Structure 1
Amino acid sequence: MACMSDIPVGSPPAPPGRHAAPGGWYPDPLDAARERYWDGWQWSRTTREAELAVAPPPPPPVGAGPGPYGVPPAAAYGVRATGVSRQAATTADGVPLAGWWWRALAGLMDALLVGTVSFLLTLPFYREIVTAVSAYWGEAYRAAQAGSTTPPPTPNFATLITGTDQLLIMLVTFAVGMAYHLPLLRFRSATLGMMACGLRVVPVDEGRSQERLTWSCVLVRALIWVLPGALSLRILTVADVLLPLWHPKRQTLHDLAARTQVVRGR
């Protein structure tokens, strides 16, 4: 059974070079009879009884410096010192983290749902654009029937929607996004896309937690995800989506801000 030890969570020295161990259970450097969880970045407080007898660590290779808590790097991590991912595969209490592709699929499904509702609600703001496009194609069709090779002038779409309309579109998009994410994250710990993909949001390093996320947590998480999309800040959205590919705990920007992780729920 896992338990929480009294040792402070720290960032012990990384092994030589840029490779470290993947997340998992390793011999506790302070107690040979127990195992401690390494999340791919640092030792956690979580320990458990060792499942197998712990063999004494082999002597360090020539030239190798001390590893975490004075244990040689190869022995401390239980893996080769080369070609190893630094990303955790599970939370600190052993629940598998969601893969990037599943998270991307869930996000795409959520974006389609929110985008469809937002488009339908903001459709009246695009009325002049729709009218202008219809008139353009009508003129183009009549010109083609008359044998003309000169297309009609393209309408200036930038002048067909006012600044006020653009602001209202942004506010509607933001409101729909927040109304979608907040209640689902608070009461189900997952959006519809996440539920369809078998994913769940949990507090960081607490994959087995069944408690509801707090309102402050879901508010921060939803705000950092929804606002860049409403403001058309695509670069922030792209950075947010891609960050789990490299982050040691597979967290996005909104995960980091809300202190959450996404796990596989089934």
Structure 2
Amino acid sequence: MTNSPQQPPAGWYPDPAGSGGERFWDGVAWSQSTRDKAAPEAPAGASPSSAPDAGFAAPQSYASPPSGHGYAQSQQQYSQQPYGEQPGYGQQPYQQYGQQPYGQQQYGMQAYPGYGAQQLPRPAGFWWRFLGYVIDGFVIMIPNWLIGMMTGVTDRASGALEQWFRDLLIWSESQTAAPPELPPAFDDAIVQLSIIQVIVWIVYRILMYAWKSATVGQLAIGARTVPASNPDEKLGWGQIILRSIASPVLYALSLVGIINGLFAAFTPRKQTIADYVARTVVLKVR
């Protein structure tokens, strides 16, 4: 068992700050009281030649308690001193070792609203967005087909296409005239089916954004759509309706739809044109 070093008694000692005078040692720490160097005399209860305690290296006496190896040892004991004891003269009081200064945080571990102290959610990349879009396409395929069958648009498109194939077969055998063109009824049916698909997309997105802030495809890839200005908030109704309309309409315009999708590959926050219009961003939350 190791005994803690004994402190020298209170008294006047040579100033460790190097002023040439003397500074008062109160038995625990240096005080702010100084005086000119007096005639040498031993402190009360000890002689100048008395041996130092275990906390101060020999051959020093109480005349210079905090200097040399002994003073270094007393500084090493600082972290073990009870609360309220002062450190050696000139040292910073109550310094806490092993702790970062206030206000400094480790990079990448900042607190994020709604997510706690963890890594910030990142924008969903192009291929994740593409996979989610494909999944959503399969999801709305069934309601598109049902509505097309219920309205008769699918039957009209199929009948017009069959008639064109028969005309094409007859033309291939005779080749007496120009090849037949697709009938106008087929073009009309395709336009109607496209309108039905866009409406289904819009209703589907409105319902999913209002319920989960994400479509089924986005939920499958671990993403969700949030306001670009404050990702911790849910989408407002204005943003929900605007994005639900902008995205299907842009994708229905063929070349514009391709450009809209490619925006997610090259923009800094992986935003499509529809995201810029509605001021949203799709985050990868898991």
**Larger relative contact order (CA 8 Å, sep ≥ 6):** 1
1:239 Cα shift? 1.1
* Aligned counterpart, 1:241: 261
Instruction: For residue 98 of structure 1, report the CA deviation from its aligned partner.
Output: 1.3
Contact 1:136 1:155 (8 Å CA) reproduced: yes
* Cross-structure match for 1:263: 283
Query: What is the TM-score normalised by the length of structure 2?
Result: 0.50
Q: Between the two proteins, what is the percent identity of the paired residues?
A: 22
Please state if 1:159 is matched with 2:187: no
> What residue is the counterpart of 1:185 in the other structure?
209
In 2, the alpha carbon distance for the partners of 1:138 and 1:161 equals 14
Could you tell me which amino acid in structure 1 is paired with residue 248 of structure 2?
A: V
Alignment equivalent of 2:239, drawn from 217, 231, 235: 217
Residues 154 and 117 (structure 1 numbering): CA distance in 2 closer, same or farther, change over 3 Å? farther
Partner SS state of residue 122, structure 2: coil
Task: Count matched residues.
Answer: 171
Equivalent residues of 1:136, 1:154 under 8 A apart: no
TM-score by length of structure 1 reads 0.54
Query: What residue is the counterpart of 1:130 in the other structure?
Result: 158
- Work out the CA distance in 1 between the residues paired with 2:234 and 2:243: 14
Which of these two proteins has the greater Rg computed from alpha carbons?
Answer: 2
- The equivalences for 1:1-266 within 5 A come to 49-51=104-106, 94-123=120-149, 124-134=152-162, 150=174, 156-161=181-186, 163=188, 165=189, 168-204=192-228, 206-207=230-231, 209=232, 211-229=233-251, 232-266=252-286
- Rate the CA distance shift 1:167–1:150 in 2: closer, same or farther, 3 A: closer
What 5-or-longer segments of structure 2 have no aligned partner? Answer: 1-100, 108-118
* Preserved contact between residue 126 and residue 161 of structure 1 (Cα < 8 Å): no
SS of equivalent to 1:157: coil
Question: What is the deviation of 1:116?
Answer: 4.2
TM-aligned CA deviation for residue 133 of structure 1: 4.3
What's the CA shift for 1:248?
Answer: 1.5
Q: Which segments of 5 or more consecutive residues in structure 1 lack a partner in the other structure?
A: 1-32, 35-47, 53-92
- Contact persistence 1:202–1:260 (CA under 8 A): yes
Deviation at 1:189, TM superposition (A): 0.7
Rounded Cα–Cα distance in structure 2 between residues aligned with 1:135 and 1:172: 23
Q: Which amino acid aligns with 1:198?
A: G
